[in-house]
Structure 1
Amino acid sequence: MKRPVRLALLGCGTVGTEVVRLLHDQSADLAARIGAPLEIAGIAVRRLGRDRGDLPVDPSLFTTDALGLIKRDDVDVVIEVVGGIEPARGWLVEALRAGKSVVTANKALLAEDGAALHDAAAEGGGDLYYEASVAGAIPLLRPLRESLHGDRVTRVTGIVNGTTNFILSAMHATGAGFAEALEEATELGYAEADPTADVEGFDAAAKAAILASLAFHTRVGAADVHREGITEVTAADVASAKAMGCTIKLLCIAARGADATGREAVSVRVHPAMIPLTHPLASVGDAFNAVFVEAEAAGQLMFYGRGAGGAPTASAVLGDVVAVSRNRLAGVRSASESAYADLPVRPMGEALTRYHISLDVTDRPGVLEAVAGMFARHDVSIATVRQGPSGGGAAGRGDDADLVIVTHVAPDAALAATVRELRGLDIVRSVASVLRVEGGP
């Protein structure tokens, strides 16, 4: 055995404690896989006096001086599971510039300023690994980063937020509304006390940026991702999806293709969408994650599993620790960031989508013709129309009717413009809902 690989752990919350337990419980196996034992040099925490139960670690290893721990000469690898942008960014840049390897689960930081971390890693010559930042223990980023480097990835579609997937799955199974399903998710511990990052799509958007960056060899940040949450999804939307043989999921979609000028570009978006029940992602329920990857040579690949939680995330962290520790012992580093393609990011308006639009309209002759004419003026083709008596309409009038229209594929900007003009028609009492439709013909 060679000398121990010394670890600095930043954060000892839900994930950090599981990392410590796995390091203790699997110490012999990890040492055998690496060729040297792993030792914790120190653990940086916010509060020293916090009760951490029977955590198998020497209490003297805890410190509140994270930067001092990082700067120690005996630290080889820094593990960051604190989260947030600052002070994590400063800590990790310091570690990487000093030549230490970094393992992080910080999706928000990677999406916000991953460029700074990659540049610091290149400067210092250490490794930057972050498998745990997307989809927990699901082995996803390394296949994109390494296994598929001989192929051309064309599209990545995924369910990458367990909280929203639990909520939408509950709404589909029981017919509950959003508020009721969110309350259940909170009671079961799937949703935080403040669920904004999940239900408004911020968490999924950060993960989408990371996936797109790896898949398309292009730096993509959170600001490049079109983001919509699920708070406006209603029980009526779910029922309408069922009637079409669909379900509603919060999807992250990253695709490459020609933009309006014919140049190759990437499109990255997060929003709720209807998908057919026959689609592989439709059966992903509860708080599970799944990502569907399409590549020119490999074809269609799907990665599925638990996307969050202390133990699954810690598993991904330890996998990265093994990889970077082996590299350090061998005196090598992994392949650096691959951003050679440097493709432009297309605006959302150029994304090609289908729409499901539910209208509350006046029930009189000529209404359907007028509505269809609006779609035609924006060069949007209608695939199907379903009309029936209104459930009461916004004002409870008996002379209303429900009109549900599903379009063919068209630029998102044309669809959005159509919806805006529909809202201004006298015959349209209200636009009850607008949802995109993905995964169908």
Structure 2
Amino acid sequence: MNDHKPLRVALLGCGVVGSAVARRLVEHADDLTARVGVPLEIVGIAVRRAGRDRSDVPVDPSLFTTEAADLVTRADIVVETVGGIDPARELLLSAMAHGASVVTANKALLAEDGPTLYAAADAAGVDLYYEAAVAGAIPLLRPIRESLAGDDVRKILGIVNGTTNFVLDKMDSTGAGFAETVAQAQALGYAEADPTADVEGFDAAAKAAILASLAFHTRVAGRDVHREGITEVTASDIAAAKEMDCVVKLLAIAEKASTDDGEGISVRVHPVMIPRSHPLASVRDAFNAVFVEASAAGQLMFYGRGAGGDPTASAVLGDLVAVARHKVNGSRGPGESAYADLPVLDFGQSWTRYHISLDVEDRPGVLAQVATAFASHDVSIETVRQRVVTDPDSGGPRAELVVVTHRATEAALNATVETLSELDSVADVVSVMRVEGA
């Protein structure tokens, strides 16, 4: 490539992230030219609606266009920040077919149809980079894909959604309820007007699929991820966690697991209790953090801002510089690695621990019945705490039992909870929460 010929960059989207990318491309043009070896020239910015005031983006207004399909055919690199499945998928496939490398922040599309994008990149001999799709500014995917390529990643625990971390953190620190804290997150701009994708775990599940695919060299789609959100987490759950010196977090968990048929992988998103001594417990507000366990490297943690215009733009521009250098050098970065092709295990085969709170009769033999219920499903009890309370209806004594189990399969633990709920001596299974990190 001619050393002085600019690389043509097309931007899809000019929202919070897209506009931040455009500004940094302009404001840091000289530095980026020095790092890449040739200038990076914005040849167009695709937007949904023409005529809006975009004076905060320091580019020639003529660069804004609603003709995204045409724009992607005349670029060397396409940067996509619009999100969603369509039309993003068709635009990126068209871009690669016309020889453009792609940088995307689209976690939903990668989790839905990543293999199709990888195949298109391979066929066209171009790059597909997506560091910004998970955990915003945090350098995470490239270390997993490249720095740990010679290691055996065993487990990933991640706080990958800032909205839910903010909500749970405030519930823990202030004692506020779920609805009140979500409203606070919305007022501060941490949550959308419709927070469903965050609080129901859809966003975290897409990111978990991407992390598992890279870490375990296996194709994992968003539909393979067991998903539970935080809408059912109560102030009582937060209080119970405090009694155990724990905090409640929504974690994306991906790990290798052994079964009777060999090794597989478990990928899930749900609330858990983790000890306050664990590094993830100290992640506050809307920050993200991902804890990685590998055979040789041991335990690693990646921490930082997981969303926002400038933080996410940092990750996008890091990818942009990488693929631009490849264009200049006539090389490519790593493509999809799915050689392991491990089975994604059914959720019931995943291993975890449970914290179970029971409202029971205060009489002899109840504890033995409860212990028998656990033993009948081969679930070992780690600790039991009992507290006598007053029945609000009869005024008589009742007991609150809190049981923490050793690790067992999800299926065995779930069956145990069902058995407990059927005992005459158990008035109510008050709460059930998984425990990790101990």
Q: Which residue of 2 aligns with 1:180?
A: 180
Q: Aligned partner of 1:314: which letter?
A: A
Q: Which residue of 1 aligns with 2:229?
A: 229
Q: Distance in 2 between matches of 1:19 and 1:169?
A: 30
Q: 2:423 aligns with which of 419, 422, 425?
A: 425
Q: Distance in 1 between matches of 2:131 and 2:153?
A: 18
The percent of aligned pairs where both chains have the same amino acid is 67
3-state DSSP class of the match of 1:304?
strand
Q: Which residue of 2 aligns with 1:201?
A: 201
Q: Aligned partner of 1:220: which letter?
A: V
The alignment covers a number of residue pairs equal to: 436
- Please say if 1:60 is aligned against 2:62: yes
Cα deviations by residue, 1:330-370 (Å, 9 ceiling, x for unpaired): 11111221111111111111111100011122233222211
Q: Aligned partner of 1:260: which letter?
A: D
Whether contact under 8 Å (1:360, 1:390) holds in the other structure is no
Whether contact under 8 Å (2:93, 2:117) holds in the other structure is yes
List aligned pairs for 1:95-134, cutoff 5 A: 95-134=95-134
- Please say if 1:83 is aligned against 2:83: yes
Cα deviations by residue, 1:72-110 (Å, 9 ceiling, x for unpaired): 2xx100100000011111111111222210000000000
Cα deviations by residue, 1:290-338 (Å, 9 ceiling, x for unpaired): 1111111111111000000011001100010000001001111112211
Q: Aligned partner of 2:123: which letter?
A: E
1:181 Cα offset (Å): 1.5
Q: Which residue of 2 aligns with 1:249?
A: 249
1:285 Cα offset (Å): 0.6
Measured on the aligned residues, the alpha-carbon RMSD in Å equals 1.3
Q: Aligned partner of 2:36: which letter?
A: I
Q: Distance in 2 between matches of 1:398 and 1:22?
A: 68
Q: Distance in 2 between matches of 1:396 and 1:33?
A: 75
Q: Distance in 1 between matches of 2:140 and 2:409?
A: 30
Q: Distance in 2 between matches of 1:207 and 1:80?
A: 17
Q: Distance in 2 between matches of 1:397 and 1:200?
A: 39
Q: Which residue of 2 aligns with 1:49?
A: 51
Q: Distance in 1 between matches of 2:70 and 2:117?
A: 19
- Please say if 1:40 is aligned against 2:38: no
Q: Which residue of 2 aligns with 1:371?
A: 370
Q: Which residue of 1 aligns with 2:413?
A: 415
Q: Aligned partner of 1:313: which letter?
A: T
Unaligned stretches of 5+ residues in structure 2: none
Q: Aligned partner of 1:32: which letter?
A: A
3-state DSSP class of the match of 1:312?
helix
Q: Which residue of 2 aligns with 1:293?
A: 292
Q: 2:10 aligns with which of 8, 11, 16?
A: 8
Q: Which residue of 1 aligns with 2:212?
A: 212
Cα deviations by residue, 1:53-90 (Å, 9 ceiling, x for unpaired): 33101111111111111122xx1001000000111111
Q: CA 1:344–1:374 in 2, change beyond 3 Å: closer, same or farther?
A: same
Q: Which residue of 1 aligns with 2:436?
A: 438
Cα deviations by residue, 1:260-299 (Å, 9 ceiling, x for unpaired): 32x1211111111001111111101110001111111111
Cα deviations by residue, 1:27-49 (Å, 9 ceiling, x for unpaired): 00000000011111111110012
Q: Aligned partner of 2:417: which letter?
A: V
Q: Aligned partner of 2:330: which letter?
A: G
1:399 Cα offset (Å): 4.3
Whether contact under 8 Å (2:249, 2:272) holds in the other structure is yes
Unaligned stretches of 5+ residues in structure 1: none
3-state DSSP class of the match of 1:19?
helix
List aligned pairs for 1:264-279, cutoff 5 A: 264-279=263-278
1:178 Cα offset (Å): 1.3
Whether contact under 8 Å (2:390, 2:397) holds in the other structure is no
Q: Which residue of 1 aligns with 2:22?
A: 20
3-state DSSP class of the match of 1:418?
helix
Q: CA 1:398–1:98 in 2, change beyond 3 Å: closer, same or farther?
A: farther
Q: Aligned partner of 2:342: which letter?
A: L
Q: Aligned partner of 1:212: which letter?
A: A
Q: Distance in 2 between matches of 1:430 and 1:381?
A: 21
Q: Distance in 2 between matches of 1:355 and 1:398?
A: 29
Q: Aligned partner of 1:404: which letter?
A: V
Whether contact under 8 Å (2:102, 2:129) holds in the other structure is yes
List aligned pairs for 1:130-209, cutoff 5 A: 130-209=130-209
1:230 Cα offset (Å): 0.8
Q: Distance in 1 between matches of 2:427 and 2:44?
A: 63
Q: CA 1:115–1:49 in 2, change beyond 3 Å: closer, same or farther?
A: same
1:428 Cα offset (Å): 1.9
Whether contact under 8 Å (2:257, 2:350) holds in the other structure is no
Q: CA 1:374–1:256 in 2, change beyond 3 Å: closer, same or farther?
A: same
3-state DSSP class of the match of 1:209?
helix
- Please say if 1:259 is aligned against 2:259: yes
3-state DSSP class of the match of 2:214?
helix
Q: Aligned partner of 1:292: which letter?
A: F
1:401 Cα offset (Å): 2.5
Whether contact under 8 Å (2:287, 2:303) holds in the other structure is yes
Q: Distance in 1 between matches of 2:139 and 2:412?
A: 38
Whether contact under 8 Å (2:247, 2:281) holds in the other structure is yes
1:397 Cα offset (Å): 6.4
Cα deviations by residue, 1:235-276 (Å, 9 ceiling, x for unpaired): 111111111111111111111132232x12111111110011
Q: Which residue of 1 aligns with 2:354?
A: 355
